[in-house]
Amino acid sequence: VATTLQPAVVGATGYAGFELTQVLLRHPSAKKPWLFGREESSAPKQDLADLYPELQGESLPIRQFDWNEVAKADVLFLATPHELSKELVPQAKERGLRVVDLSGAWRLRDHALRAPYKLDYSSADDSLQASVVYGIPELHSDELRTAKLVANAGCYATSIILALAPWTKAGIIDLEHGVICDSKSGVSGAGKAPTSRTHFVEVAEDFSAYSVFGHRHTGEIVEQLGIPADSVQFTPHLLPIPRGILSTIYVRFQEKQDAAALEKLLRDFYANAPWVRIFGAQKLPQIKFCLRTNYCDIGFSLSPDGRRAVLVSCLDNLVKGAAGQAVQNMNLMFGLNEREGLQ
Ligand SMILES: NC(=O)c1ccc[n+]([C@@H]2O[C@H](COP(=O)([O-])OP(=O)(O)OC[C@H]3O[C@@H](n4cnc5c(N)ncnc54)[C@H](OP(=O)(O)O)[C@@H]3O)[C@@H](O)[C@H]2O)c1
């Protein structure tokens, strides 16, 4: 068990990587992270503190990406686009590095579910994929303790999977009728570069749905919950706020349910999970309760006939949905307390 880890981060200038760097700077068992930028020698020399004045006084030079230097770290975090993580993860494995990849490139095993990423996977990639652990500590803590490669779970996917896992695993949901997962996210989920969809003028005072029947996180929900693809209807929406996710999840039960028993299933499932808070029946979480924390908050309401429920699950997309969960995974990988360095 290592007690002082040297982390390296690629992508610290992006939203998820910046959040991650801040979490690592506070982590009692981590040294100051080494930051690596692009490989091109023409890339400008920068210090993260110059880009993000929140870090005034810190010296955080962003070095040119070089495997000889990166490979000296104890753990490599990739907060990079899917296409780049797709290439870097096998190269890190060759060098024996332990990796937490925040992208979606290595989260899925099923070829059909991976299709929305439009990445090419070889048969060698399939065998590598078999060794990658899906990074939700609440579901895979044993595998994470020995994992070399971790695919940090998607932000929407984390909010939905954590809410649904206790009841799907108890076998009480009527999957014939399907599960409706209606999620809303703040705009930082789309990364730092504004597009014609995410530009302030487009988003402010508006609310819109997108990627209906085609969002990449659908595959994670299907694969991790082990439920048929056609029983999940996931629609993400863009909220005019910087960060935070609220998922409203509509389920039907096979048999009449009792609110206390449903709540007990949630509480028992997460009895040893420090980063999931159960709000219980009738007390619903809100985005502001979990902002800038690593909590995923879950509550629900049961219909008067006991046959239907609405789950509400909230998290901060940049913390439990990205950087915080990545550090929670790191903690398990290195035998540290799951809570360490997180708030
Ligand atoms: N935003 C979220 O809420 C969230 C949540 C969960 C997971 N993720 C995942 O985390 C990853 C990063 O997301 P983000 O939202 O932080 O994106 P972002 O704000 O666009 O940042 C992307 C980062 O990748 C770097 N990068 C791009 N191409 C590179 C290259 N060729 N070599 C080295 N670095 C390169 C960028 O550096 P430059 O500054 O040089 O461009 C930047 O630091 C994505 O895979 C995303 O899906 C994001």
Tell me what pLDDT residue 324 has. 98
DSSP state string for 129-163: HHHEEEE-HHHHHHHHHH-SEEEEPPHHHHHHHHH
Q: Which of 9, 10, 13 to mutate to test the pocket of ligand 1 (most atoms within 8 A of CB)?
A: 13
Report, as an integer, the average pLDDT of 193-216.
94
Is the pLDDT at 1 greater than 60? The verdict is no
Structure tokens belonging to residue 222 = 């299907």
Helix axes 137-146, 324-333, angle to 10 degrees: 40
CA 19 / ligand 1 centre spacing (Å): 11
Backbone φ, ψ for residue 179 (5° rounding): -120, 130
What is the pLDDT averaged over residues 177-194?
96
Cβ-proximal residues to 232 (8 Å cutoff; 6+ apart), any chain = 178, 179, 181, 218, 221, 222
What integer pLDDT is reported at residue 42 of this predicted model?
83
Residue-wise pLDDT tens digits, 126-155? 999 999 999 999 999 999 999 999 999 999
- State the closest ligand 1 atom to the C-alpha of 189, by its place in the atom list counted from 1: 3
CA atoms of 107 and 38, how far apart (whole Å): 24
Residue pair 19/343 in contact (Cβ under 8 Å)? The answer is no
Mean pLDDT over 286-307 rounds to 98
pLDDT of residue 282: 75
Instruction: State residue 5's pLDDT score.
Output: 97
Give yes or no: 290 in active site.
Answer: no
Q: Is 16 left (phi over 0), alpha (psi -120 to 50) or beta?
A: alpha
What was the pLDDT predicted at 123? 94
34-71 pLDDT tens trace: 999 999 878 788 999 999 999 999 999 999 999 999 99
CA 158 to centroid of ligand 1, rounded, Å: 19
What is d(CA 329, CA 82) in angstroms, rounded to the nearest whole number? 19
Closest-lying ligand 1 atom to the alpha carbon of residue 19: 16
Q: Specify the pairing of strand 61-63 against strand 98-101.
A: unpaired
Residue nearest to atom 6 of ligand 1 (CA): 322
Q: Give the C-alpha separation, 268 to 253, whole Å.
A: 19
d(CA 144, CA 332): 6
HSE-CB at 117 with a 13 A cutoff on CA atoms is 25
Residue 99, beta-bridge partner list: 76, 149
Give the residue-averaged pLDDT of 270-281. 94
**pLDDT in the model for residue 283:** 84
Task: Determine the Cα–Cα distance for residues 65 and 304; give it in Å rounded to an integer.
Answer: 58
Within 8 A by CB and 6+ apart from 157, the residues are 107, 217, 220, 221, 224
